[in-house]
Chain A
Amino acid sequence: MTHNTRFTKGIKRQSAWDLADNQVTPEAVFKDRRNIVKALGLGALGASIPGYVQAGLFDFGNKSPSTFTTSPLKFAQPTAFAIPDPLTPESKVTRHNNFYEFGTSKQDPFDNAQGFNVNPWSLQIDGLVDKPITLDLDDLTKRFALEERRYRLRCVEAWSMVVPWVGFSLASLLKEAGVKSSATHVAFETLFDPDQMPGQKNRLMGGGIHYPYVEGLTLEEAMNPLAFLAIGLYGKTLPPQNGAPIRLVVPWKYGFKSIKSIVKIRVMDKQPPTSWNQLASHEYGFYANVNPEVDHPRWSQASERSIGEGGLFSAKRIPTQMFNGYGEQVAGLYKNLDLRKYY
């Protein structure tokens, strides 16, 4: 497994990527025939229907299995951030994912990530810290006291889930590394490995994002007790489609801030680039706090479809809460910030 070592690769490549819109070639179409056939809505007539669908056709009613091995975790269940909201079933949490490294359709990550190899893994914490740390796969589950956090997850696309994550607070990791007083921000980077992540290889499949995916928080946000590094969900280690082996969870921000499969955390003294902001800065800001009063330019953020238990007709549309309902813990961070301007 090769890790990309150039942290700011995303910015450097920006202009090259941006120009590529007019370089669309039929070859790209050909390479992504699977997605296209599916998108054409005529999959039943084609021979190249998605693999998981074919499996579904042959074992009537049985979902294709998840072949990635997850293992049970031991963790505490503190009541500090308990919420009354019913959980989204595990089968939906693991089959409805935005993880463009494995394709842009919601079920693509489940379909394409089962062979993802997380062992060995290396997570580096460096930058403005007293003691840079490198964590391997074992460290992720053993070095910190694990706890379960049931968090609301609000996607910028106006759907939401409630997920029981297992992990540790980001602050506990940063404290161990020792943040220098000049630090103001924390940057995160996803693994860059096109051999394992087809979306990084093929632009059509990867949705046009400049890989590796990068995200960032202010230091204050990162040190907030809600900011969480998840290594598991539903009591087991993370499946790849949810960001194995370690991902960020910032429940008061839109889901795209919660970067998956992290290989690097860098403490900095300036605001780092963030992937969706690079792609469309007028639609996705650095802060990306859940805010029902500030709409996405193309759709409303006032309400969300809650993905819960039950089938097609059990969906609920619920009002979106300011800071996704975590205002008590985080509103103070933004008291001097114009949230319309800094969306």
Chain B
Amino acid sequence: MPDMNAIADRVASATPPHVGKAIRGLSDRSIAWIFVAPTMILLLAINIFPLIWTVYLSFTNYASNRPNRAVVNVGLKWYQDILSSPEVWAAMQATAHFVFWTIFFQTLIGFGLAYLIDRKFRGHAFWTTIILIPMMLSPAVVGNFWKFLYQPQIGLFNYVISFFTGIPPSSFEMLGSVTLAPWAIVIVDTWMWTPYVMLICLAGLRSIPDYIYEAAEVDRASKWRQFWSITLPMALPFIMLAVLFRGIENFKMFDMVVLLTGGGPGSTTELASITLKRQAFEAYRTGYSSAFAIILFVVVFGLANIYVRALNKVKQR
């Protein structure tokens, strides 16, 4: 093509001679490196280096509010302290409770909603959008709003509960009660993130072709059997993916819970991330909190890895 040659000639003539010479001297491999390098440098600077630095700090007595103090190596002291601290175990337990029950309800309700929306009734697109609204809000907004909703005297939540059950609205405090507060945060997170799980499940359900159901119908499979032998197994990888995303996300839950309960009452809703923040930026025990962060990292990373393996197994079937 003469046009292309003409363009190439023009580009060549427009390149200053010294630049052309310099570029021509580079191998393909080095050009590739030049293109990749900025990203790699950025990743190293903001991801890898801080991680390594945290590992280093976790073995020292460094405190970020006393930068001039001599840094002493304390070995595994922080790790021993953390793993034998009842406070930390309580926080881990609160986190586990929160993660387990949010995933449980979100998956159950999310899949249920997806199953209903997938019926493709009139206006299903409109209802999908309506259902998605909570997850579009900022967690800070959600936290503040629900704080009002949970307010025992004027809150809508207590009013609705009392309307249906007859329990007087100011007789219980969702956020102030030791037994109710852990459930209060589960309710809010479920309200906010069920739509997300629904969306992923819906994608899964939509990926099942109609003719498989038709084949099953001709094969005399009841709706119930179709659900258990077609719908659920074929949507399972999607459900598992939703669980993975929500699990990782909720393991590091911070903002919404801080706004709702601040970890209280007492420390009943103090999740691991809140404990960590307090140690790092209120007590300024940088070494200790670094060790705690590493432990959390290993736990999440390990669990996610095991889970992804299980997910791949399911997908390969």
Q: Do A and B truly interact? A: no
A residues adjacent to B (C-beta < 8 A): none
